[in-house]
Structure 1
Amino acid sequence: MNHSDHVNAVAQQLSAAASSPVAASWRRCMTIHGLSPEEQRTPWRLTEAEFLQARERSGHIIEESRDELDRLFLTVGKAGCCLLLTDERGVALERRGAVGDDKDFRGLGLWSGTVWSEASVGTNGIGTAIADERAVVIHRDQHFLSANTGLSCATAPIRDHLGRITAAIDISTCRDDVNDMAVLILSQAVRDAASRIEANLFRRAFNGARILLVSSEGKSTPALLAIDRDDLVLGATRAARQTLGLDDRRIAAGVPAADLLHEDRSSNGGDLLDAERAALRRVLSRARGNVSQAADILGISRATLYRKMKKLSVE
């Protein structure tokens, strides 16, 4: 049975689609996007004006991803790999590849300005990662189109500061000697890069806020909280939202980070005393322990400052 016949047979089985993400993608390609595995097609390509508009819209993502793309390419570029950064529609915004491999990758459509959605070219790393909202490996004959079965792709989606899919990063290779273990290693590398880019985007969105790393066992992406000067949560990554049960509504209503993290706070004004103690310690730190200077900064007398220090157990 050739590849096209196999895809058609599997995609028509509801049980296969329910148990296999690849089979589910194949079924989407046929029933939703109207594609056939034997089609000879390359990815849709944007016009120059459309491409420039897509890059402008995602300029902040490109900026925060550039260093990670360069770092990753230094690791895998000489192994015959091509890197793509796409937006949430699968539009290739940035590309990294060795000059010697350009002809092969351009022929396959792994080039800036192409669209690697499932609707464009069927099951593939980028389109399926975006559709399933998870990191995927699409290895050779797991691709929908027979024309793409020489490719092996490892892709991870990238989420914005609100936890929404905003981009994807992909490593693809058409080398014949790439085995399953090598693709898994590439998959880990691309997931690590996506996590760092997500953290960059989060810090950019909450520039000036305090960023707190939350313990999130089992999460592969960073669980970060952005906190204002009053300890209220301004934002949270998807991993932090899942770990702490947060959503947009709860964040907008205002929730203290201490409550989310179950930090011990005494009652009867304990929070106010803690805040006053913290403020006093900060001033003393800035004055390098000089009580007279700290009192001047606060606009109080040395005697008053000593009384506050005694009351708050600040040494």
Structure 2
Amino acid sequence: MESMPLLSVQLVDKYNLWLVVEYTIFNYLFQMGNLSSLKKEFKNILKKRGMMSYEMGKEISDSWSRCITEGLNPFQDPKQSVVSSIELKEIKEKNESLRKIVLPELELLYSQIAGTNFMVAYSDENGLVLDTIYDKTCLQTDVGKTVIPGSIWAEKVCGTNGLGLSVELKKPTIVSGKEHFFTAHENISCFASPIINYDGKTIGIIDASTDYMSREQHTLALVKLATRSIETKLFLKKFENELILSFHPRQEYLSTTSVGLLAVNGDGLIVGANSNAKIMLNGLVDLKNENFNKIFTNSFSSIASDLLNNKTLKITDHLGSSVFVVKSQIFKKNKFVETKKEKKRSTCKNCEDTKIKREKCTLIRSTFDETNNISATSRKLGVSRTTIYKHLQ
């Protein structure tokens, strides 16, 4: 039996102290009674469905416990909850900019999943389905008829399911076959992964539902890949006017969705970091609005020029770990792509003899043309104002 919770009592008289103790004992026994009833109901459901408790992991069993507490009956059909067409239209409009990024990824995911009787879906952060794509077989099944735009697949409504569990846990999930709380769903496998924005907030869910015999880890990997791709596109759009750096401990991974992304402003401050960056730089500092130099031993000003010229560099953080870093995207308005004639015209007289000098000079002069401010140009490029003056003469 679990130990009784400790009381934290301040200055109270003996009578009030006894009331506190009495209430605590009552509350503790009440909770123990509920827990005993919950365990009994849990075992009854397992027995009726011919299952054993060790067949499911803690995340699934915890979900079942929440479903039982909500009063859901696994042997009845789940009550379908669907918002009105007007509400759905309003929610879609609210998420329009996100949907423009999500839908192409959803179509790609659909094309990648092999087999028949499957569907892919996109929901908002609450489990409200906004968009779906089905194959012809799935469209005729109960899943195809119930997982429709406007339907709510939150756990407390539809029991344990991949989409609802991903909403609860904010992480990728698999709910396979009889792991579903409702028997009506036990012939399918659900794979879901949350879309996390630059601020660490869940803003949507990508879900795939297939027949029970489908390749589980393969399908989940594809779903996770879709959400990572969406997150990367959202990050690039959010910080399109900043210098975005991609980094990874292995150079060959710099072109994949597993890279860490940092958005750095002209002052060398990190104004954005994706989830991969936060994982790889865990244990250093809070990345938001932190100076680049407090994270890496290489100063931002010393490597900015090389990064702007698309060089891949190896740098070290203050915990001693090394990563490869490369420019992912530069300020949107500065393309820095010019014809030879334009380069020659925009280069100062002192920088015409070598290619490196011409490129550096062109970069400084074109940045100044955009900012029209010496200090702002200095901050953006990480070079001194004296150097900028020389190239503007």
Q: What TM-score results when the alignment is normalised by the length of structure 1?
A: 0.75
Aligned twin of 1:194: 227
CA 1:272–1:238: 2 relative to 1, 3 Å = closer
Determine if contact 1:86/1:169 at 8 Å carries over to the other structure. yes
Quick check: 1:42–1:121 contact (8 Å CA) kept in 2? yes
Please say if residues 272 and 287 of structure 2, whose CA atoms lie closer than 8 Å, have aligned partners that are also in contact: no
1:22 to 60, 70, 79: 60
Aligned residue among 123, 130, 147 for 1:86: 123
1:228 CA displacement: 1.2
Partner of 2:320: none
Q: Note closer, same or farther for the CA distance 1:10–1:129 as it changes in structure 2 (3 Å cut).
A: farther
Pairing partner for 1:292 from 335, 345, 349? 349
Residue 73 of structure 1 deviates from its aligned partner by 1.2
Structure 1 segment 76-225 matched on structure 2, within 5 A: 76=113, 79-105=116-142, 108-173=145-210, 175=211, 178-179=213-214, 182-215=215-248, 222-225=259-262
RMSD: 4.2
Confirm or deny that 1:49 pairs with 2:86.
Answer: yes
1: distance between equivalents of 2:285 and 2:89? 32
One-letter amino acid of the structure 2 residue matched with residue 5 of structure 1: I
Higher mean alpha-carbon deviation, 131-140 vs 203-212, is at 203-212
Structure 1, unaligned stretches of length 5 or more? 266-270, 300-306
Report if aligned partners of 1:84, 1:94 keep a CA contact under 8 Å in 2.
yes
* Amino acid corresponding to residue 292 of structure 1 in structure 2: K
1:38 Cα deviation from its structure 2 partner: 1.5
Q: Which has the higher contact order (CA 8 A, sep 6+)?
A: 1
Q: Where in structure 2 are the equivalents of 1:27-42 lying within 5 Å?
A: 27-31=65-69, 33-42=70-79
- Please, which runs of 5 or more residues in structure 2 have no aligned partner? 1-41, 251-256, 309-335, 352-360, 370-385
**Count of residue pairs the alignment pairs up:** 286
Moved over 6 A (4+): 7-11, 246-249, 271-279
C-alpha distance in 2, partners of 1:240/1:8?
Answer: 47
Task: Report the alpha carbon displacement of residue 249 of structure 1 after superposing the two structures with TM.
Answer: 7.0
Provide the rounded CA distance (Å) in 1 between the counterparts of 2:74 and 2:177: 13
Aligned equivalents of 1:45 and 1:235: distance in 2?
Answer: 36
Whichever residue aligns with residue 103 of structure 1, its letter is Q
Give the counterpart letter for 2:228 in structure 1.
S
Partner of 1:62: 99
User: Is contact 2:117–2:136 with CA below 8 Å preserved after alignment?
Assistant: no
Instruction: State percent identity of aligned pairs.
Output: 21
Which structure has the larger Rg over C-alpha atoms? 2
**More deviation in 288-297 or 208-217?**
288-297
TM-score (norm 2): 0.62
1:187 maps to amino acid: L
Amino acid in the other structure paired with 2:229 = R
